[in-house]
């Protein structure tokens, strides 16, 4: 066989790897595609495709509970990602491009803590903490959810901002200072525009992470404070309702659109948080 080989010997080839990878992609997409296809099913059943219809999308859009939950999700995500991005930008300014100083490791640990602690543990902790505050103050509004979301969004906003700042040329800021710019002016006119793409990426990440959250929201929310994900979880009985299927597919579409935009804007950089 080796003598008759027509193709050149490929050093990157490993037997079986490509088929496994392709099977993997099929397995990854089959459930998602099925979900999207059946969201256009006119019938109740997910087992039988009857007719093409967008009825379930309209049903979901006209459901007041869904409208309220979606609006609540957006409000929380907007406030939480806004707060998280501002604070993460400040923290990134204080922790990058500087010699190591006492306590910097502590700051790192604190900021990245939500990435390390299992979410259910944080959720329980916040449940206990907020329960006693709710009793003491009598306030049970959205602020608890916003605070909780803002906290776990900080590392997701921080990481891309930090990455951007570390890759930045210090000389430009030094030049600005040489030209008698005040520190604030240097920040406003030089640093900020240069870091802006990182801040935008961080804010977007934080927004998506807040929008997707289930566990912490489920534990912290007061009665009648469902977000879209907790509403969907609450609707689950033995199967997923066609309405929830339609909401899922719509959210999936939003994810795909945002990601495509992100990929096209950032070119080679992949929007991988880690």
Q: Which of residues 9-68 bind another protein (CB under 8 A)?
A: 9, 11-18, 20-25, 27-32, 34-35, 38, 45-47
Which stretches within 63-139 are classed as H helix?
Answer: 64-95, 104-116, 119-137
Tokens representing 235? Answer: 């609707």
Length of the chain: 274
Site mask for another protein (CB under 8 A), range 95-134, x = bound = x--xx-xxxx--x--xx-xx-xxxxxxx-xxxxxx-x---
Helix, strand, or coil here: 41?
strand
Please state whether 243 falls in left (phi above 0), alpha (psi between -120 and 50) or beta.
alpha
Q: Which of 77, 91, 190, 199 binds another protein (CB under 8 A)?
A: 91
φ/ψ (deg, to 5) at 238: -85, -25
Query: Minimal distance in Å, beta carbon 59 to another protein?
Result: 17
Of residues 257, 192, 218, 173, the one with CA closest to residue 69: 218
Asked if residues 215 and 152 have their Cβ atoms less than 8 Å apart, the reply is: no
C-alpha distances out from residue 12 to 15, 42, 206, Å? 10, 48, 38
Query: Minimal distance in Å, beta carbon 188 to another protein?
Result: 15
Instruction: Measure the N-to-C terminal CA separation of the chain; round to a whole number of Å.
Output: 45
Tell me how far apart the alpha carbons of residues 231 and 234 are, in angstroms, rounded to a whole number: 5
Rank residues 90 and 265 by Cβ distance to another protein and give the closer one: 90
Query: Minimal distance in Å, beta carbon 229 to another protein?
Result: 5
Among residue numbers 251 through 270, which ones bind another protein (CB under 8 A)? 251-252, 255-256, 258-259, 263, 268, 270
**Binding piece for another protein, criterion CB under 8 A, among 52-60, 147-155, 166-174, 195-203:** 147-155
Tell me how far apart the alpha carbons of residues 197 and 204 are, in angstroms, rounded to a whole number: 11
7 part of the interface to another protein, by CB under 8 A = no
Tokens representing 146? Answer: 């916003």
Size of the site for another protein (CB under 8 A): 96
Rank residues 176 and 205 by Cβ distance to another protein and give the closer one: 205
Rank residues 91 and 176 by Cβ distance to another protein and give the closer one: 91
Tell me how far apart the alpha carbons of residues 17 and 14 are, in angstroms, rounded to a whole number: 6
Rank residues 176 and 245 by Cβ distance to another protein and give the closer one: 245
Query: Minimal distance in Å, beta carbon 218 to another protein?
Result: 8
Among residue numbers 183 through 242, which ones bind another protein (CB under 8 A)? 208, 211-212, 214-215, 219, 229, 232-233, 236, 238-240
Among residue numbers 157 through 176, which ones bind another protein (CB under 8 A)? 158
Query: Minimal distance in Å, beta carbon 181 to another protein?
Result: 17
Query: Minimal distance in Å, beta carbon 175 to another protein?
Result: 19
């Amino acid at each position: 066989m080796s003598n008759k080989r027509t193709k050149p010997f490929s050093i990157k080839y490993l037997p079986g790897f490509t088929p496994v990878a392709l099977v993997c992609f099929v397995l990854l997409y089959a459930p998602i595609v099925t979900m999207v296809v059946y969201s256009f099913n006119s019938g109740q059943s997910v087992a039988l495709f009857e007719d093409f219809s967008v009825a379930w999308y309209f049903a979901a859009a006209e459901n007041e509970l869904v409208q309220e939950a979606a609006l609540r999700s957006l409000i929380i995500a907007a406030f939480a990602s806004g707060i998280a991005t501002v604070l993460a930008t400040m923290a990134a300014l204080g922790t990058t491009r500087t010699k190591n100083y006492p306590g910097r490791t502590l700051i790192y640990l604190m900021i990245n803590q939500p990435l390390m602690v299992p979410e259910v543990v944080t959720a329980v902790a916040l449940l206990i903490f907020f329960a006693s505050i709710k009793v003491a103050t009598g306030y049970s509004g959205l602020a608890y959810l916003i605070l909780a979301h803002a906290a776990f969004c900080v590392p997701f906003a921080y990481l891309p901002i930090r990455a951007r700042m570390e890759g930045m040329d210090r000389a430009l800021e030094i030049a600005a200072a040489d030209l008698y710019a005040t520190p604030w002016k240097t920040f406003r006119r030089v640093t900020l525009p240069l870091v802006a793409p990182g801040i935008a990426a961080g804010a977007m990440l934080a927004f998506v992470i807040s929008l997707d959250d289930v566990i912490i929201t489920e534990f912290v929310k007061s009665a009648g404070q469902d977000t879209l994900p907790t509403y969907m979880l609450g609707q689950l009985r033995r199967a997923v309702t066609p309405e929830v299927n339609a909401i899922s597919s719509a959210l999936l579409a939003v994810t795909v659109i945002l990601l495509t935009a992100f990929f096209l804007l950032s070119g080679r950089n992949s929007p991988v948080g880690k």
